[in-house]
Amino acid sequence: MSHNTQQKNSLFKPHIDNFTSDLNQKAGRTSSEVKDLLKGKKLYKLSSNENAMGPSPKALEAIQEVLPTLYEYGFRTDDVFRDALEEAFDHEIKEDQFITGNAGLEVIDIACRGFLEPGLEVIVTNPTFHVYEIFAKVNGAKVIDVPLLEGAFELDVEGILAAVNERTRLIFITNPSNPTGTMITKTTLDKLIYNLPDHVVVIHDEVYFHFMESDDFPFAKDYILEGKNVIGLHTFSKAHGLPGLRVAYGFSTPRIAHYLRKLRRPFFINTLSMTGALAAMKDEAHIEASRTLVQTERKWLQKELDRLGIHHWDSHTNFILFKCPMSTDEMIAKMLEYGVMIRSGENNGAPGCIRVSIGVHEANMAFVTALEEIMGG
């Protein structure tokens, strides 16, 4: 049998068989993974952009009520979820425009499966969320990196437009950005979206939008209402404090949403996740408290970094990216000796930088105290 025949009859898809990355390899460590290193110290976990307020109390209460029903199959469809989302969007985005999923990762995966195949291309803008590249490559697409402009981490609109060709299908934009914390303004994003051809879809990952304080933020909803090829992405892992439930949703034009929902599985969101999400949507007090905590503590922490002479980027999220004054591995290890978990920016394309989540004031003070002592030493 010839080599060409062997390739044609191969059981394995080459773009998957040759894929070397592991999605979990770059994930942040959990509290349990470092507990043996703490030697009895209190842990301040500031490494995974989690909600320092904890989960929505209304979500916890609702979950407790449905626990006895777990012997039954749960929600066969997401109809009730999408109806609630339409109401939350004041009926501007209709229920059939939502794509719900098991975390934002599943929504990203669905979009990649729907629009990508070998021979097509995706544009990312490093530093950015590394998952975009992984899912694109798993689906056989070529990844084109148009880095954020050096210095302020601004979007290189001209560079992206120059990289677009007939093979381009998706452009991933994280805004506010993970890991930089910076924001792309509406004026900048307008220049991109209004100059793209019809065969390109922009995925606007705006999962940190609750923590914004700017009037110039470009919401995906507004472009979608204009009929633009945009997919917005929201999650319950941030302001709602429910990352353990793994529930999120995308929203887009009726045409795109109807197409992508064909890729969903039945019973794809479990009973606890759906129940918790529905309750958390109505917990406005928890969302507002989470927002207030982040915005207040973010200002304090940025002033402390300024006082210590640490270069950092203006954040619009629940974390801050700063330039590390020593090797990032050394800083992470030393911080853990003080019971503080932080995260390297290298996995998301920001080498030499550290990402620290905004915690309660006690946690933020512990981080600053440790940083002072480490730098002083």
Asked whether residue 64 falls in the same domain as residue 208, the answer is yes
Q: Alpha-carbon distance 34 to 47, whole Å?
A: 12
Strand, coil or helix: 204: strand
Domains identified in the chain, total number: 2
Structure tokens at 117: 């195949």
- What type of residue is 268? F
Asked whether residue 97 falls in the same domain as residue 240, the answer is yes
Element (H, E) at 57: helix 57-66
> Cβ(28)–Cβ(347) under 8 Å?
no
Other Cβ atoms within 10 Å of 243 Cβ, number? 18
Q: Alpha-carbon distance 241 to 50, whole Å?
A: 7
CATH of residue 68's domain is: 3.40.640.10
* pLDDT string in tens for the chain (377-residue length): 455 555 567 788 888 888 776 655 555 666 666 666 666 678 899 999 999 999 999 999 999 999 999 998 878 889 999 999 999 999 999 999 999 999 999 999 999 999 999 999 999 999 999 999 999 999 999 999 999 998 899 999 999 999 999 999 999 999 999 999 999 999 999 999 999 999 999 999 999 999 999 899 999 999 999 999 999 999 999 999 999 999 999 999 999 999 999 998 777 788 999 999 999 999 999 999 999 999 999 999 999 999 999 999 999 999 999 999 999 999 999 999 999 999 998 888 889 999 999 999 999 999 999 999 998 86
The last residue of one of the domains, among 241, 266, 283, is: 283
Asked whether residue 101 falls in the same domain as residue 31, the answer is no
> Cβ(87)–Cβ(106) under 8 Å?
no
Strand, coil or helix: 129: coil
Element (H, E) at 341: strand 340-341
The last residue of one of the domains, among 239, 268, 283, is: 283
Asked whether residue 79 falls in the same domain as residue 190, the answer is yes
CATH of residue 299's domain is: 3.90.1150.10
Asked whether residue 179 falls in the same domain as residue 290, the answer is no
Asked whether residue 216 falls in the same domain as residue 278, the answer is yes
Asked whether residue 256 falls in the same domain as residue 306, the answer is no
Asked whether residue 319 falls in the same domain as residue 254, the answer is no
Q: Alpha-carbon distance 84 to 365, whole Å?
A: 39
Residue 154, domain extent = 57-283
153: left (phi over 0), alpha (psi -120 to 50) or beta: left
The last residue of one of the domains, among 283, 308, 338, is: 283
Asked whether residue 27 falls in the same domain as residue 40, the answer is yes
Asked whether residue 235 falls in the same domain as residue 87, the answer is yes
Asked whether residue 195 falls in the same domain as residue 341, the answer is no
Q: Alpha-carbon distance 248 to 341, whole Å?
A: 26
Asked whether residue 191 falls in the same domain as residue 272, the answer is yes
